[in-house]
């Protein structure tokens, strides 16, 4: 029994070593760093009801969703309807924008057509991030739970896989970018 435990422990240590090496060897391009810094600056403007900001979370979500702006249209393979796709550097859906605009009485957005929203989410990175950050803040105020805030951003109450991906990307950002 002791030999099996030792083998399992060694296996975990070896896997952990290679995983940390893989994370450490990821290099962000200057454009990705610029994108993440922009996300951070916008996130710092929107605190939750307790005064907390989510700049690290927003940057990690951006890296998780689009590799910090490399991919701007998601979910299109599942349903080729652009109005149902996740859009922009933070992968925001029109339904999410509409929901948030109603909750926050965001008249500028409430008056936009779906076509205009699609174009704005894809072409205006700052707007895309502003919507996403406001949604993160709203989720956190609503759930009062950080794990569920991150999980629900990706569409699930208890999305462990996504949560850990975001947390790993948060560590990568901390190691890669100096603020």
Quote the CA–CA distance of 178 and 173 in Å, as a whole number: 9
Q: At what angle do helices 55-66 and 30-43 cross, to 10 degrees?
A: 140
Instruction: Determine the 3-state secondary structure of 109 from DSSP.
Output: helix
Domain 29-176: top CATH class: mainly alpha
Q: Give the model's pLDDT for residue 4.
A: 57
Q: Report d(CA 140, CA 148) in Å as an integer.
A: 8
pLDDT tens across 128-156, in order? 999 999 999 999 999 999 999 999 999 88
Whether residue 68 is predicted with pLDDT greater than 60 in this model: the reply is: yes
Q: Distance between CA 79 and CA 8 in Å, rounded?
A: 42
Residue 25 pLDDT > 60: no
Best-predicted range by mean pLDDT (16-30, 76-90, 113-127): 113-127
Specify whether the CB–CB gap between 55 and 173 falls below 8 A: no
N- to C-terminal Cα distance for the chain? 49
- Round the average pLDDT of the chain to a whole number and report it: 87
Strands of the chain, DSSP E: 73-74, 86-87
């Amino acid at each position: 029994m002791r030999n099996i435990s030792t083998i399992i422990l060694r296996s975990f240590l070896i896997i952990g070593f290679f995983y940390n090496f893989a994370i450490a060897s990821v290099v962000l391009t200057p454009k990705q760093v610029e994108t993440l810094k922009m996300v951070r600056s916008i996130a710092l403007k929107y605190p939750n009801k307790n005064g907390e900001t989510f700049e690290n979370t927003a940057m990690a979500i951006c890296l998780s969703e689009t590799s910090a702006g490399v991919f701007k249209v998601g979910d299109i393979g599942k349903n080729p309807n652009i109005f149902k796709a996740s859009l922009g550097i933070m992968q925001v859906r029109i339904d999410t924008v509409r929901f948030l605009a109603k909750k926050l009485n965001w008249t500028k957005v409430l008056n936009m057509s779906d076509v205009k929203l699609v174009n704005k989410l894809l072409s205006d990175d700052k707007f895309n991030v502003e919507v996403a950050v406001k949604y993160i803040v709203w989720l956190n105020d609503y759930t009062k739970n950080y794990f569920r805030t991150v999980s629900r951003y990706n569409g699930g109450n208890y999305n462990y896989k996504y949560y850990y991906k975001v947390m790993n990307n948060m560590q990568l950002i901390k190691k890669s970018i100096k603020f």
